[in-house]
């Protein structure tokens, strides 16, 4: 979404705004999540106040005109290293970041960059010349984190080129296999495992349609972004369990022509189908917003989206409602299976020379929205080039060929006051909150307990779902093979139950019952085909009172956890209970669908 033409003419004179205070805060990694918030190793809120330092994911194709303000990437010669290193040292650039007040950097890379053995030359810092692009990336990571700036690794492209059209980088597996993509992620997170200020793995940038087909969220095929992200997250967490896993929504589907279905799903599918990680306190979702794009507008010019408004065409209230629906609900609706921090990891606008009233008003409105919702954010981009103070004025900091910097606070950039308002907005503390997580057995096992992953297969031939360590099974769906987990007691050894040998009373007359032993709670379940098969029970201290909860004819659950099986009846025990048993009919043709839960009081 970064290729765009925006009309601009004269340089405007803005009121002088003092720089933001450099981040004086100290923090300790690794980071994790608590409800909608990100916290540091001491449990203190760590709001991502970020910017994008791009370049390592692309190369210059030689067509950019540095004096053309309509070109979003005018004159950018990246050579697979972070932008600007041929004009300024890393220390100078990072000093500029500190003046802006950011505490974190999204650092894009390409899969091609990881493997490229070319030696980079002509960088301002002579110690970087002769290194491979990956070695330069290493040095930049080290210098950023030494200044207490958190680094989020971002797989921006497969092949090194500018993003984001029909370019061979539309999906994580357009120019490579999914397995290679996952292997590359394991390599990267292992490479920086010892540096706890490398805090995040942003899985892939702006997943979108190519010429022929769309990505999807939940179909289970090779274009299923939700499934691919889950598989990558599992591998990343077994390699580096400390790092945040950041999943961006789908950026674009369909053909952008009036009369044909098309649009930006972003994070809307998460409401009905979310992720559950092995370390569930490491999940962050992300989304991108630019004024020239829209809920059904790709942002491209010369296409047939004539009836589709752009975000900058919306009123302030319409913008709030739309961004809430597309992304921010994930953070703002508490104690749902999808509740997680939402990082707006790209937003931006043309600065100097921007006379377009709509784009300027959009930026002000969007900044107000970020402030009001206390949202995590990352501006695109931090670094650009200039010549006599003209060029790519999207960036907040620019360097000319002689190494002279034009900064946000030099007095002629209208964005300065809005940036001050955003960067200095207070961050609310992160209260303790109950966590809920979805288990889905649509296509494969979903065993998110690290302890169970290290043990033999507890039900061979069946698809199995197991809650993350520290959680227990709270709900099941009548059909659809969905489950819900929540925080629970610590447990020891496990028992697989497929029959009625532990049933103490007829709590569901006429139904086949599967029940955990008295001193056990359910932490997982299995299915064969679409039929319920077994409970996985774990030993812990339990209460004595229990009740039968029916859900064969409608939902029967508290208003916590969210709709974990959209379109299916659901049963869910109360927050002070746990699942101790499941009843089903077992009749021919019934599919052995769960009809009732045996809910026992917890201790």
Domains of the chain and CATH, by start:
32-423 (3.20.20.80), 436-602 (no CATH)
Mean pLDDT over 198-215 rounds to 96
- Statement: residue 589 has pLDDT above 50: no
CB atoms within 10 A of CB 524: 27
What pLDDT band is residue 11 in, cutting at 50, 70 and 90?
Answer: very low
Mean pLDDT for the chain overall: 91
- The per-residue pLDDT for range 361-390, each reduced to its tens digit, is 999 999 999 999 999 999 999 999 887 777
Dist CA 441 CA 459 (whole Å): 14
Contacts of 588 (CB under 8 A, 6+ apart): none
> Between 11 and 511, whose confidence is greater?
511
410 closest CA partner among 72, 16, 116, 42: 16
- The per-residue pLDDT for range 535-572, each reduced to its tens digit, is 999 999 888 899 999 999 999 999 999 999 999 999 99
Instruction: Give the burial string for 367-402 (b: 16+ CB within 10 Å, else e).
Output: bbbbbebbbbbbbbbbbbbbbebbbbbbbbbbbbee
What are residue 368's phi and psi, to 5 degrees? Answer: -60, -40
What integer pLDDT is reported at residue 70 of this predicted model? 39
Dist CA 32 CA 354 (whole Å): 39
Structure tokens at 602: 């917890």
- The per-residue pLDDT for range 97-153, each reduced to its tens digit, is 999 999 999 999 999 999 999 999 999 999 999 999 999 999 999 999 999 999 999
- Statement: residue 17 has pLDDT above 70: no
Dist CA 5 CA 65 (whole Å): 13
> Is 159 exposed, middle or buried, given 0-12, 13-18 or 19+ CB atoms closer than 10 A?
middle
- Statement: residue 239 has pLDDT above 60: yes
- The per-residue pLDDT for range 393-433, each reduced to its tens digit, is 899 999 999 999 999 999 889 999 999 999 999 999 999 99
Mean pLDDT over 580-592 rounds to 76
What integer pLDDT is reported at residue 544 of this predicted model? 86
Percent of the chain residues topping a pLDDT of 90: 84
What integer pLDDT is reported at residue 72 of this predicted model? 42
Contacts of 88 (CB under 8 A, 6+ apart): 124, 399, 403, 405
Can you list the alpha helix ranges (DSSP code H) found in 458-538?
none
What integer pLDDT is reported at residue 370 of this predicted model? 98
Dist CA 402 CA 57 (whole Å): 24
- Statement: residue 222 has pLDDT above 90: yes
What integer pLDDT is reported at residue 452 of this predicted model? 95
What integer pLDDT is reported at residue 303 of this predicted model? 79
What integer pLDDT is reported at residue 586 of this predicted model? 67
Instruction: Decide: 532 and 592 in contact? Cβ < 8 Å.
Output: yes
> Between 133 and 167, whose confidence is greater?
133
- Statement: residue 76 has pLDDT above 50: no
* CA of residue 4 relative to chain centroid, distance: 24
What integer pLDDT is reported at residue 102 of this predicted model? 98
What pLDDT band is residue 578 in, cutting at 50, 70 and 90?
Answer: very high
What integer pLDDT is reported at residue 39 of this predicted model? 98
Residue 50, CB-side half-sphere exposure with 13 Å CA sphere: 30
Instruction: Decide: 563 and 502 in contact? Cβ < 8 Å.
Output: no
- Statement: residue 496 has pLDDT above 80: yes
**Helix crossing, 357-372 with 316-323: angle to 10°?**
50
Dist CA 46 CA 59 (whole Å): 33
DSSP string, 523-563: EEEEEETTEEEEEEEEE--EEEEEEEEE-SSS-B--SSB--
Structure tokens at 293: 């794009």
Tell whether the torsion through CA atoms of 322, 323, 327 and 333 is positive or negative. negative
Percent of the chain residues topping a pLDDT of 70: 91
The residue written with tokens 């299923």 in the block is 224
Distances (CA, A) of 520 to 182, 219, 427, 438, 573: 37, 35, 41, 21, 15
* Angle (nearest 5°) at CA 26 between 205 and 368: 55
Mean pLDDT over 189-215 rounds to 96
SS (H, E, C) 26-66: CCCCCCEEECCEEECCCCCECCCEEEECCCCCCCCCCCCCC
- The per-residue pLDDT for range 77-91, each reduced to its tens digit, is 457 999 999 999 999
0.95 cut: is pTM over it?
no
- Statement: residue 272 has pLDDT above 90: yes
What integer pLDDT is reported at residue 346 of this predicted model? 98
What integer pLDDT is reported at residue 264 of this predicted model? 96
Mean pLDDT over 57-81 rounds to 51
Instruction: Give the burial string for 431-461 (b: 16+ CB within 10 Å, else e).
Output: eeeebbbbbbbeeeebbbbeebeeeeebbee
What integer pLDDT is reported at residue 4 of this predicted model? 35
What integer pLDDT is reported at residue 20 of this predicted model? 53
32 closest CA partner among 205, 228, 215, 246: 246
> Between 165 and 456, whose confidence is greater?
456
What integer pLDDT is reported at residue 172 of this predicted model? 97
What pLDDT band is residue 60 in, cutting at 50, 70 and 90?
Answer: low
Dist CA 484 CA 573 (whole Å): 10
Dist CA 581 CA 590 (whole Å): 19
487 closest CA partner among 499, 502, 469: 469
Cα of first residue to Cα of last residue in the chain, in angstroms, is: 52
- Statement: residue 208 has pLDDT above 50: yes
452 closest CA partner among 524, 515, 533: 524
- The 405-407 sheet, strands edge to edge: 390-391, 383-387, 397-399, 405-407
């Amino acid at each position: 979404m970064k290729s765009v033409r925006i009309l601009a003419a004269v340089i405007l004179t803005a009121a002088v705004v003092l720089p933001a205070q450099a981040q004086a805060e100290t923090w300790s990694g690794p980071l994790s999540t608590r409800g909608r918030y990100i916290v540091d190793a001491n449990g203190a809120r760590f709001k991502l106040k970020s910017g994008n330092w791009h370049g390592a994911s692309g190369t210059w194709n030689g067509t950019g005109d540095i004096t053309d303000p309509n070109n979003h990437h005018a004159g950018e010669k990246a050579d697979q290293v972070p932008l600007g290193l041929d004009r300024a040292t890393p220390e100078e650039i990072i000093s500029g970041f500190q003046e802006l007040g950011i505490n974190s950097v999204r650092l894009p890379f390409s899969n091609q960059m990881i493997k490229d053995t070319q030696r980079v030359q002509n960088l301002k810092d002579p110690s970087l010349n002769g290194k491979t692009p990956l070695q330069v990336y290493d040095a930049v990571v080290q210098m950023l984190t030494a200044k207490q700036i958190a680094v989020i690794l971002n797989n921006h492209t497969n092949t090194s080129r500018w993003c984001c059209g029909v370019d061979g980088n539309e999906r994580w597996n357009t120019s490579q296999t999914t397995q290679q993509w996952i292997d590359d992620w394991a390599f990267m997170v292992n490479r920086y495992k010892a540096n706890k200020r490398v805090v995040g793995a942003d899985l892939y940038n702006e997943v979108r349609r190519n010429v022929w087909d769309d990505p999807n969220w939940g179909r289970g095929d090779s274009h299923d972004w939700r499934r691919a992200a889950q598989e990558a997250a599992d591998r990343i967490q077994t390699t580096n369990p400390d790092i945040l896993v950041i999943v961006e929504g789908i950026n674009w589907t369909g053909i952008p022509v009036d009369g044909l279905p098309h649009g930006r799903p972003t994070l809307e599918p998460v409401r009905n189908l979310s992720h559950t990680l092995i370390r569930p306190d490491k999940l962050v979702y992300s989304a991108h917003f630019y004024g020239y794009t829209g809920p059904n507008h790709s942002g491209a010019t010369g296409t047939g989206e004539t009836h589709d408004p752009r975000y900058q065409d919306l009123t302030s209230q319409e913008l709030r409602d739309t961004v809430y629906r597309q992304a921010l609900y994930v953070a703002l609706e508490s104690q749902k299976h999808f509740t997680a921090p939402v990082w707006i990891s790209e937003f931006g606008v043309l600065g100097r020379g921007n006379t377009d009233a709509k784009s300027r008003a959009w930026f002000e409105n969007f900044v107000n929205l970020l402030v009001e919702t206390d949202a995590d954010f990352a501006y695109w981009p931090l670094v650009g080039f200039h010549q006599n103070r003209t060029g790519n004025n999207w960036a907040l900091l620019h360097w000319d060929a002689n190494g002279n910097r034009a900064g946000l606070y030099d007095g002629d950039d209208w964005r300065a006051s809005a940036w001050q308002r955003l960067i200095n907005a207070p961050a609310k503390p992160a209260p303790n909150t109950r966590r809920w997580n979805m288990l889905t057995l649509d296509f494969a096992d979903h065993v998110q307990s690290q302890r169970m992953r290290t043990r033999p297969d507890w039900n061979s031939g069946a698809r199995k779902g197991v809650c993350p360590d520290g959680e227990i099974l709270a709900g099941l769906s009548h059909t659809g093979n969905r489950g819900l987990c929540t925080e629970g007691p610590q447990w020891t050894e496990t028992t697989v139950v497929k029959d009625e040998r532990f049933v103490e009373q007829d709590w569901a007359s006429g139904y086949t019952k599967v029940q955990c032993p008295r001193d056990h709670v359910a932490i997982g379940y299995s299915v064969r085909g679409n039929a319920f098969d077994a409970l996985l029970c774990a030993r812990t201290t339990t209460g004595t009172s229990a009740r039968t909860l029916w859900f064969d004819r409608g939902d029967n659950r508290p208003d916590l956890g969210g709709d974990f099986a959209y379109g299916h009846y659901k049963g869910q025990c109360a927050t002070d209970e746990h699942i101790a048993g499941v009843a089903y009919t077992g009749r021919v043709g019934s599919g052995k669908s769960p009809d009732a839960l045996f809910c026992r009081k917890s201790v």
